[in-house]
Amino acid sequence: MQKLVKSRSNTIGMPPGTLVHIGEKKRESTLMTLVEYDEASFRQKNLGFQELESLETRETGIRWLHVEGLSQVEVLEAIGRLFSLHPLILEDILNTDQRPKIDVNDDYIYVSAKMLSYQKEPGEFDIEQVSFILGENYVVSIAEKDTDVFEPIIKRLQQGMSRFRKLGSDYLVYSLLDVIVDNYFSVLEAFGDEVEIVEDEMVVRTSRQTLRTIHKLKRQILFLHKSVWPLREVLSFLERGESLLVRETTEIYIRDLYDHVVQVMDTTETLRDILSSMLDVYLSSSSNRMNEIMKVLTIISTVFMPLSFIVGVYGMNFKNMPELDWPWMYPLLWLVMIGISISMLIYFKRKKWW
Amino acid sequence: MQKLVKSRSNTIGMPPGTLVHIGEKKRESTLMTLVEYDEASFRQKNLGFQELESLETRETGIRWLHVEGLSQVEVLEAIGRLFSLHPLILEDILNTDQRPKIDVNDDYIYVSAKMLSYQKEPGEFDIEQVSFILGENYVVSIAEKDTDVFEPIIKRLQQGMSRFRKLGSDYLVYSLLDVIVDNYFSVLEAFGDEVEIVEDEMVVRTSRQTLRTIHKLKRQILFLHKSVWPLREVLSFLERGESLLVRETTEIYIRDLYDHVVQVMDTTETLRDILSSMLDVYLSSSSNRMNEIMKVLTIISTVFMPLSFIVGVYGMNFKNMPELDWPWMYPLLWLVMIGISISMLIYFKRKKWW
Amino acid sequence: MQKLVKSRSNTIGMPPGTLVHIGEKKRESTLMTLVEYDEASFRQKNLGFQELESLETRETGIRWLHVEGLSQVEVLEAIGRLFSLHPLILEDILNTDQRPKIDVNDDYIYVSAKMLSYQKEPGEFDIEQVSFILGENYVVSIAEKDTDVFEPIIKRLQQGMSRFRKLGSDYLVYSLLDVIVDNYFSVLEAFGDEVEIVEDEMVVRTSRQTLRTIHKLKRQILFLHKSVWPLREVLSFLERGESLLVRETTEIYIRDLYDHVVQVMDTTETLRDILSSMLDVYLSSSSNRMNEIMKVLTIISTVFMPLSFIVGVYGMNFKNMPELDWPWMYPLLWLVMIGISISMLIYFKRKKWW
Amino acid sequence: MQKLVKSRSNTIGMPPGTLVHIGEKKRESTLMTLVEYDEASFRQKNLGFQELESLETRETGIRWLHVEGLSQVEVLEAIGRLFSLHPLILEDILNTDQRPKIDVNDDYIYVSAKMLSYQKEPGEFDIEQVSFILGENYVVSIAEKDTDVFEPIIKRLQQGMSRFRKLGSDYLVYSLLDVIVDNYFSVLEAFGDEVEIVEDEMVVRTSRQTLRTIHKLKRQILFLHKSVWPLREVLSFLERGESLLVRETTEIYIRDLYDHVVQVMDTTETLRDILSSMLDVYLSSSSNRMNEIMKVLTIISTVFMPLSFIVGVYGMNFKNMPELDWPWMYPLLWLVMIGISISMLIYFKRKKWW
Amino acid sequence: MQKLVKSRSNTIGMPPGTLVHIGEKKRESTLMTLVEYDEASFRQKNLGFQELESLETRETGIRWLHVEGLSQVEVLEAIGRLFSLHPLILEDILNTDQRPKIDVNDDYIYVSAKMLSYQKEPGEFDIEQVSFILGENYVVSIAEKDTDVFEPIIKRLQQGMSRFRKLGSDYLVYSLLDVIVDNYFSVLEAFGDEVEIVEDEMVVRTSRQTLRTIHKLKRQILFLHKSVWPLREVLSFLERGESLLVRETTEIYIRDLYDHVVQVMDTTETLRDILSSMLDVYLSSSSNRMNEIMKVLTIISTVFMPLSFIVGVYGMNFKNMPELDWPWMYPLLWLVMIGISISMLIYFKRKKWW
């Protein structure tokens, strides 16, 4: 499970714009991939730090620089210089504990989102921050670790069959965000499956494990909600078309993406409500079981306590106990005791205790 | 019960506008019905795929194409070409896991809603997406499976007695939506009946079955809420009259429909609150029952434990137990024991334990 | 108790404006009272269906037609023709399961509200829809059943002492609504008394009856809230003075009425919160009682189980039990047993178990 | 404790503006104090009903009429005539069950607020309505009973050291409201102390008294919230400076007062949340205690039931029980029984049951 | 722990602007530090009361006066005179029980915020109010006690390497607020760690201590929320750029700070929800444990009660009990009893009771 709050204590008092990586280090070195394409051509290559420094501006086509790993701060600084980014933007890229946000400048738009990837263990998912810089004819995407979710995008660009390569850098950013949002659905799907499993076993048995799973799922849903919710505002801002960097033709796609995010939020909230309700049901179910256990105990006690008392009576050693000498007393007592037991059981049966 | 989250994992990374059916397949083939009418005439026929392709535009009157079944993607593509729909609209029609939405274009309005139909089992209902394309003089309605809820509309059109045939395509869409919303009320009615049944039996007995039903109803109400809620915005948007496709005379009808949806939401929320309260009552009631069981156990123990102790005393084998020789001791002991029992019972009676 | 959701299933697929009465039939025939007044004169008479049809328009003064009972749809149709009402308005009047609403047309304003009347049984009240048509110089009020709550208004009009008769039709509608809202307060007062009764007995005892009453009160409060809440919007709309039918001098009265409704809502919400809190207190109190029962059981068991064991020991039939022959052993054992009991009780006393 | 809902049933159907006192009668007769001051002079005297009638308007300075007690309706009528107040305003003054409200007229502003005074008993406070009429050069303040909270204001006016006497009637109303809001803080302080006391004892013991206090505090906090909340809107309205009666120099003071009220609301909500959480903690704590009681019972039973069985075995009277003749069997049995007890206790110790 | 509500009862009825310190006195005397800097120079010195009085206005550069300790009211009065502050501002500075607020005047902006510092004990933090006066070329910061959190700022000013000294007084205030907000994250981090510790031990054991900690953490989170929440509005107001005192270049920094505060609120709310859920889980877990205890008790009773009854039977002293003479009866009885025990245990095993 994620830590509830990530440590950023080492940044207190530092000037804003100081580049310190906040969050778990997920990848040691930094890997850079450069994709350049226009309607006619497509080129993809890995980039070293030196090459990054000596990159020249291009006249035509779109340049997409994809960076994986945040540990080499100097790479980020170089990117900042190359695309003249504000220091606060670089700080935001490194601070992986922040909410998805958008920052619109004259020359570029900064967008950050959370990529979720479901882990094997029930309710576990990994949160990774992905930042995008959208410029007139370039896109920089920065991920915390190596990920292959953007592979299909590269493949679609490479094939060049669709109109993709004719469209601008804003459409590329949309496509990347679309992949991220699509991933939310698979995480939610896995979540929904977990919830259904717990739902089924909950009413049958009330094990401690079930309780732990419910709590964990609820906690994780809260995290998921927190990670996705602000993306709504980000997309709503993008769609409103206040920046010239987002073309009008792209806006309908972003609106569609916005609808998807709202759908994700809706499902998240439904899941949260169901989980809350499940805790209540669990408690009631547990209290129900207790009732049943208590009934067994009470039936047993109610039947055997009077019987034990009766046999105790005739275990007394008084001289003067005439019953002890009656020959038919012993079998009679058995009849009496069986009679008592049966009438007790009938009584409990009537009371619907079993 | 519906799956909590439908799988759409096979669409990740695909370009937007890729036509893949998301959701359970509810009908194998696609059935098309074409209804054409104007003030004077009415014509209804089933349509094959070939005929669809060769449909010509009509000068006058309204053309209503009703499609059932989403599995034949090529039919949708043909419809898309025929009415020049945006690829994202077609994608929305196929994605049955989305919220009700509206998309206003220059030439047509896309509206989607959820049709609910109550199943036999308590709390079970089926959710089906119905999409509408409202054009100047045509309407396309696309349902997931064959449904006869729109039959009354066709009949009313056929009879031609009312002013229905004189009114535009917007009024037809309103009528179709009206049928869908009317269905919500029958689902709610069935729900309300279920809730009342559970309410009655809840305070009497606290069976595990009751608990399961409460949880199921609550979960289904959450789903229902999620399915209906966004329709409010859709209708509010339609009613605001920003598109010329919705005539002013139709707006009052849409406002009325809007009021109905708000009424549905109100009832849904009331039901949800009642169900939440019922879980609390269930728990309290269960705890109450436990108190009663415990009282029985405690009364039994409190009466018989001292008695068993007393008879145990006189079962001891000490040489020197003078009481054993007293002839009136045994009957006296019986009196003492009966006295103890009666005073215990009086004590518990006073404490209102039974 | 009201049904949670009223049946309207027989209206599905019917054209809008079809006049079908939705809700419980509360009165068989329809009763009409006509009140006509101006500054100088006052006339009141019962009206038959024939007279209604032949009513002529009046030049001066205000005409108030009060209708009780919704079962004769033809009466409503005649009223609709007489005052040229939109078919949807007539449908709204007949649909008694809808929220309070307002519909402003050029010639008249339609307002509907819920009249509450408290029943004898705790937490029971009757909900009845009252509709008003406010025209330039006429008012139509339509109630579900015969009710005498408007009697004081008629009396005040008759007496003619106040300025009432000089004021317009809008002031008459205000007065009628004012009576309805005043009734809310008496229902709330009865509710508050019920809540206080339950509150008092709740902490003392935790009977099943209390639980049932709490649940019922909570459920009814939810209904009350749902019935009154939308009236706020209705009055706010009226007060904003967008229709010429509401004179400026009347607006201050409507604002006052609005404040009263807000006061009703405030009280309703406070009552709801108190009832929710009461369910929690009930559960805690029940759990508390269980603790006390358990303590009794545990004290009894803890005292008598060791004692029973001890006397059991000396009931054994071993040949070689030297204690049995010691003459002072029996009285000593009594001392030991009394000692054990007393120290147990002291121990529980110290632990504050009683 | 206050009644949850005050009776106003005797006003139903009465014309608006009818002067009936709603609420508990807190003072039999009505007391009037007249304070007149300008920069140079200060005069204070008690006023009889006659003098009130013959009051003449003054040219300069501020006139402050303070009324205590609402039972003499004729006094209010005289005041209404003197300052030409709308009948609805007089009705509002007498209806002590309404929310704080503001009513801005051309010549005067009507403001009502709730004065809270803490009572000795935990969680008890008294709610009293205070109304203000703010005119160009006069202020009327009307309280339900005699109160000395405004004494410091009179003293400050008398001393004349500050600029108070130079400031207008709006500043006087501000000062009076400021005293009322300051009183909220002392009520809250007493409340906070109560909550802390309960908080401390709650985790230690779970007595029924604690439960009663928590419920009472929560209920009272709901009342307090309801009484103070609307004052926010009132002050916000005053501050917006839409009436010329409130000078610009006074607005900063009213903004400050507004901040105080928001602070009160914040604290109220925090207290409410803490109390809600306390109910949950109480329940958990009570359930915890039950666990401990059950453990004692179970340990006792688990130790003594097997032992009692064993001694019972050797109390049987079979002819053929060879163990009974073995001379070392009795001491051995003691060893076995002690061994069983000790191993049971070790087992429970390991399970952390005590 | 903080008192829930701080006492301010001694200020009731006092004129507004009266300078009384509300809140706990945290420092006896008042310490003043004066920092003066411009692009070229930097000067820092401690200031006595005399020197404060004789401070002269400076032409160039920024003057930052940092005050620690609120007990010497006369110092504040001198500062008020020096910078011509409104009396209400001085009152606000002394009232440490108020929410963070902003007050924009023509010549200066008053901003107050809450500084949190985590204490050693779990869930304990100290709240201290810090006020700022932002003038054209001066900043006054007033803290409740001596604190070293602003040290890094002074150091950065002293070093003069960054552009810090070139930037205006608004940037200095931003930097100070930034330090305060950064501290929120360390408090949250400590909180998150506490929550995780409790989370881990909660499902394992349900000790009373855990319960106390959960309640305390929840209470403190409510306090934290209340202390931080209003800062959002403050920053949003600052950023909107309505005052000329905040330069446009600083706005992007304040927007960034705003994002941080929103992040703090998000985390706070997530923690609160997790803690609420934990209380529910605790209760369920406790109820679960009770089930297990009850099972032990019931198993023991169910096994030994019938056995004790059986041996009791053969302890009876009837003359006519033929079984007693059968030689193989005693061993047979043992077999029967062992058989009963084993079948009981198998039964419970099947029911999954252990």
What is the predicted ipTM?
A: 0.82
User: Does residue A16 register a pLDDT over 80?
Assistant: no
Query: What are the tens digits of pLDDT across the range E153-191?
Result: 888 888 876 678 888 899 999 999 999 998 898 889 888
Q: Residues E152, A9: contact at Cβ < 8 Å?
A: no
**What are the tens digits of pLDDT across the range C261-320?**
999 999 999 999 999 888 888 888 888 888 888 999 999 999 999 999 999 999 999 988
Give CA–CA dist D6/D3, Å, rounded: 6
List, as ranges, residues 249-308 from B with C-beta within 8 Å of C.
252-253, 256, 259-260, 262-263, 266-267, 270-271, 273-274, 277-278, 280-281, 283-285, 287-288, 290-291, 294-295, 297-298, 301-302, 305-306, 308
Which residue type occupies C127? I
Looking at the partner chain, which of C178, C281, C287 has a beta carbon nearest the beta carbon of D290?
C287
pLDDT at B305 over 90: yes
E9-284 and E293-350, same CATH topology: no
* pLDDT-based confidence at residue B299 (cuts at 50, 70, 90): very high
Residue D1 confidence (pLDDT) above 70: no
Please tell me if residue D316 touches chain E, with a CB cutoff of 8 Å.
Answer: yes
Q: What is the rounded distance in angstroms from the CA atom of residue B312 to the CA atom of residue E73?
A: 82
- Are D42 and D113 in contact by the 8 Å Cβ rule? The answer is no
Q: Identify all chain C residues contacting B253, using CB atoms and an 8 Å cutoff.
A: 16, 88
pLDDT band at C1 (very low <50, low <70, confident <90, very high): low
pLDDT in tens, D24-62: 767 778 889 999 998 888 889 888 888 887 777 777 789
Residue boundaries of the structural domains of chain E: 9-284, 293-350
- Which of B21-35, B52-66, B195-209, D67-81 is most confident? D67-81
Interface B:C, Cβ pairs < 8 A: 179
What is the arithmetic mean of pLDDT over B162-182? 89
Position D163 scores a pLDDT of 78
For D293-350, CATH number?
1.20.58.340
Residue of E nearest to D298 (CA): E297
The pLDDT confidence band at residue B161, using thresholds 50, 70 and 90, is: low
Please answer yes or no on whether A4 and E271 come within 8 Å at the CB atom. Answer: yes
If you average pLDDT over residues C30-59, what whole number do you get? 84
Cβ-based neighbour number of residue A148 at 10 Å: 7
3 state SS of A88: helix
What mean pLDDT, rounded, does chain D reach? 87
> Nearest CB to C179: which of D13, D293, D304?
D13
What pLDDT does residue D18 have? 77
Which of chain A's residues have a Cβ under 8 Å away from the Cβ of B98? 259-260, 263
Report the pLDDT value the prediction gives residue A186, as an integer from 0 to 100. Answer: 87
CATH code, C290-350: 1.20.58.340
For residues E33 and E23, the answer to whether their CB atoms sit within 8 Å is no
User: Among E86, E89, E215, which would you mutate to test the D interface (most chain D Cβ atoms within 10 Å of its Cβ)?
Assistant: E215
Q: Do D279 and C278 touch (CB under 8 A)?
A: no
Q: Kindly report the length of chain A.
A: 354
pLDDT band at C203 (very low <50, low <70, confident <90, very high): low
Q: What is the mean pLDDT of residues B149-170?
A: 84
CA distance A170 to A249: 10
Q: Under an 8 A CB cutoff, do C263 and D13 touch?
A: no
How far does C162 lie from chain D, in Å, by closest CA?
A: 9
Candidates D192, D252, D298; nearest CB to E297: D298
Angle between the N-to-C axes of helices B248-313 and B329-350, in degrees from 0 to 180, rounded to the nearest 10: 160
Instruction: Convert the pLDDT of each residue in A212-268 to its tens digit.
Output: 888 889 988 998 898 899 999 999 988 887 788 888 888 889 999 999 999 999 999
**In chain A, % of residues over pLDDT 70:** 95
- When CB atoms are compared, the residue of C203, C298, C309 closest to D208 is C203
Helices E169-204 and E151-159, axial angle in degrees (round to 10): 140
* C-interface mutation test, from B166, B252, B256, most C Cβ less than 10 A away: B256
Distance from E117 to chain A by nearest Cα, in Å?
A: 13
Q: Find chain E residues with C-beta within 8 A of A205's C-beta.
A: 352
Could you tell me if D307 and C309 are in contact, meaning their C-beta atoms sit under 8 angstroms apart?
A: yes
Q: What's chain B's length in residues?
A: 354
Strand order from edge to edge, sheet including A138-143: A42-47, A31-37, A62-68, A138-143, A125-135, A108-118, A102-104
> Which member of A5, A92, A205 has the closest CB to residue E267?
A5
Q: How far is C182 from chain D (nearest CA, A)?
A: 5
Is residue A151 helix, strand or coil? helix
Distance CA A145, CA A129 (A): 9
Q: Are B291 and C293 in contact (CB under 8 A)?
A: yes
Q: With an 8 Å Cβ cutoff, are D319 and E327 in contact? A: yes
Reference D252, options D265, D235, D269; nearest CA is: D235
* pLDDT per residue as tens digits for the range A302-351: 999 999 999 999 999 998 888 899 999 999 999 999 999 999 999 999 98
Q: Determine whether the interchain pair B316/C311 forms a contact, defined as Cβ–Cβ distance below 8 Å.
A: yes
Predicted confidence (pLDDT) at residue D14 exceeds the cutoff of 90: no
Residue C64 has pLDDT above 80, yes or no: yes
User: Looking at residues D175-195, what average pLDDT do you find?
Assistant: 90
C-beta atoms of E291 and A293 within 8 A? yes
Give all strands (DSSP E) within chain C, no chain letters. Answer: 31-37, 42-47, 62-68, 102-104, 108-118, 125-135, 138-143
pLDDT tens-digit readout, E37-58: 988 888 898 888 888 877 777 7
End-to-end CA distance of chain A: 43
Q: For A276, name the nearest residue in chain E, comparing CA atoms only.
A: E277
Question: Which residues in chain E are contacts of A13 at CB distance < 8 A?
Answer: 149, 151-153, 179, 182
Confidence of residue A35 (pLDDT cuts 50, 70, 90): very high
Confidence of residue B131 (pLDDT cuts 50, 70, 90): very high
Does E6 score more than 80 pLDDT? no
pLDDT band at E212 (very low <50, low <70, confident <90, very high): confident
* Spatial distance between the Cα atoms of D301 and D297, rounded to a whole number of angstroms: 6
Mean pLDDT of chain B: 87
Q: What mean pLDDT comes out for the span D146-156? A: 85
Show which subunits contact B, needing at least 3 CB pairs below 8 angstroms: A, C
Bridge partners, D47 (sequence order): D32
Domain A9-284 is found in CATH 3.30.460.20: yes
Give D 96-155 residues with CB within 8 A of chain C.
97-99, 101, 103
CATH T-level assignment (fold) for domain B13-284 = Beta Polymerase; domain 2 (3.30.460)
Report the pLDDT value the prediction gives residue A111, as an integer from 0 to 100.
94
Question: Are the beta carbons of A308 and B312 separated by less than 8 Å?
Answer: no
SS3 D242: coil
- Residue C138 pLDDT grade (very low, low, confident, very high; cuts 50, 70, 90): very high
| Mean pLDDT of chain A, nearest integer | 87
Classify domain A289-350 by CATH number: 1.20.58.340
| pLDDT at residue A206 tops 70 | no
Q: Do A189 and B226 touch (CB under 8 A)?
A: no
Residue carrying structure tokens 């409340």: D191
Q: Taking residues B58-74, what's their average pLDDT?
A: 86
Query: Residue E226: which of D149, D186, D270 has the nearest Cβ?
Result: D270
pLDDT > 80? residue D202: no
